[in-house]
Amino acid sequence: MSAIDGIEIELSIALGSTALPIRQILGMSRGAMIALDCGQDDPSLVFVNGQLVAKGQVLVDEDRMSLEITEVMKREL
């Protein structure tokens, strides 16, 4: 067993973001569309424990989605 096997991290992939008033969210019904602040070709952002670590492109193959990493961010010291 490796020393890192038991370490847990929080991984998030952000496709985009937006700001909405709560009243608008509560008024949404199933199938509602939410506009994001990015375009179709903009990179998705990969966060580990809240820190931006990479950028990538979402790939769709039939019913499966994956993320191709296109850029690894330089670590600031």
* Domain of 46, in residue numbers: 11-72
pLDDT at 1: 66
Task: Name the token pair of 59.
Answer: 């790939």
The whole-angstrom separation of Cα 46 and Cα 23 is: 29
Residue 1 domain flag? no
How many domains does the chain contain in total? 1
Residue 77 domain flag? no
User: What CATH number is associated with residue 58?
Assistant: 2.30.330.10
Residue 6 domain flag? no
pLDDT for 21 beyond 70: yes
Pairwise pLDDT comparison (5 vs 46), residue with the higher score: 46
Residue 2 domain flag? no
Residue 30 domain flag? yes
pLDDT at 75: 83
The whole-angstrom separation of Cα 36 and Cα 15 is: 8
Cβ contacts of residue 5 below 8 Å, gap of 6+? none
Residue 44 domain flag? yes
